[in-house]
Amino acid sequence: MAKRILVTGAATGFGRGMALELARRGHTVIAGAQIAPQVTELMKAADEAGVALKVQVLDITDEGDRQAAFANEVDVLINNAGVMQTGPVAEIPMENVRRNFETNVFGTLALTQGFARQMVKRGSGKIVMVTSMGGLVTVPFASVYCATKHALEALAEGLKAELAGTGVEVCTANPGVYGTGFNDRGAETMMRWFDMANSLTRPEVLAAAATGLASQLDPQSMIDALVRIAEEDGSKFRNVVPDETAEWIKGIQAKTWEAGKDDAIWSSPPTG
């Protein structure tokens, strides 16, 4: 059965892949892109792929863009838009922290609130929060980004409990380390301000972190999972992809219960 699906952050990465594939499968897809040039480029990509996409400017931090989005009646909201600011917790500029929360948390929540009202009134709908493996564990030097994703996990759990019985389904999708370019762009944000010579972090820790993105996964498996989640009824609440990342997360979480002062918690995630 064809559905009306709104995908935020559809100009690149997972959002672009799932928007095009869902449209190819016959769904009515509203693809939100942050800025006008991305709209033009995405419309061209849809035309080349031979699929119909409704593409509109949707900066989720902009009230006018959100109100325009609310004019769409949707069955599934996929909260995929997000940004990443990186750097040591003790040093990252507060402006960067606020920027990360403004998009990933406040913008996502504001959009969700509008569509939740629509869905509850109708008695049906699905809200998907695309969080991250970083919503369940904390990646060194991406801790602020992880904090925003931890926040989305909490909001999703709250929504699930609070909207029980309304006909609205809530679930999360948690990608592992995928090579969409998002992680690389996030890592670059740190380089704009970071002063290694005066950092509070020890050089050997910085050096170990520098290799974290050397090997990343093919995004297609996550795109396939997101398409499945959008189409199916009755998803699992938490959807970590791939399975190996889910097991690694459970191992990291177990360590946090036992770790003492000098005990390491972090280990590199699977990327093969």
CA separation for the pair 215, 109 (Å, rounded): 32
Domain count, the chain: 1
Of 22, 13, 23, which is closest to residue 132 (Cα–Cα)? 13
**198 assigned to some structural domain:** yes
Q: Token digits for 206?
A: 């910085």
- Spatial contact of 178 and 17, defined as CB atoms under 8 Å apart: no
Active-site annotation holds for 145: yes
- Spatial contact of 105 and 151, defined as CB atoms under 8 Å apart: yes
Strand partners, 55: 31
Question: What CATH number is attached to the domain comprising 50?
Answer: 3.40.50.720
How far is CA 173 from each of CA 64, 78, 130, 204, 239, rounded to the nearest angstrom? 27, 10, 5, 33, 5
**212 assigned to some structural domain:** yes
pTM of the predicted protein model: 0.95
**271 assigned to some structural domain:** no
CA separation for the pair 196, 59 (Å, rounded): 33
**265 assigned to some structural domain:** no
Which residues, at least 6 apart from 75, have a Cβ–Cβ distance to it below 8 Å?
Answer: 3, 4, 5, 124, 125, 126
Residue by residue, pLDDT tens for the chain (272 residues) are 899 999 999 999 999 999 999 999 999 999 999 999 999 999 999 999 999 999 999 999 999 999 999 999 999 999 999 999 999 999 999 999 999 999 999 999 999 999 999 999 999 999 999 999 999 999 999 999 999 999 999 999 999 999 999 999 999 999 999 999 999 999 999 999 999 999 999 988 888 777 778 889 999 999 999 999 999 999 999 999 999 999 999 999 999 999 999 898 988 888 76
**268 assigned to some structural domain:** no
**47 assigned to some structural domain:** yes
CA separation for the pair 165, 30 (Å, rounded): 27
Q: Token digits for 125?
A: 């709908």
CA separation for the pair 202, 180 (Å, rounded): 30
pLDDT score at 210: 73
The per-residue pLDDT for range 175-230, each reduced to its tens digit, is: 999 999 999 999 999 999 999 999 999 988 888 777 778 889 999 999 999 999 99
- Cβ-based burial of 106 (10 A; exposed 0-12, middle 13-18, buried ≥19): middle
Segments forming the whole domain that contains residue 193: 4-258
Of 57, 56, 58, 47, which is closest to residue 23 (Cα–Cα)? 47
**263 assigned to some structural domain:** no
The catalytically annotated residue of 101, 115, 145, 182 is 145
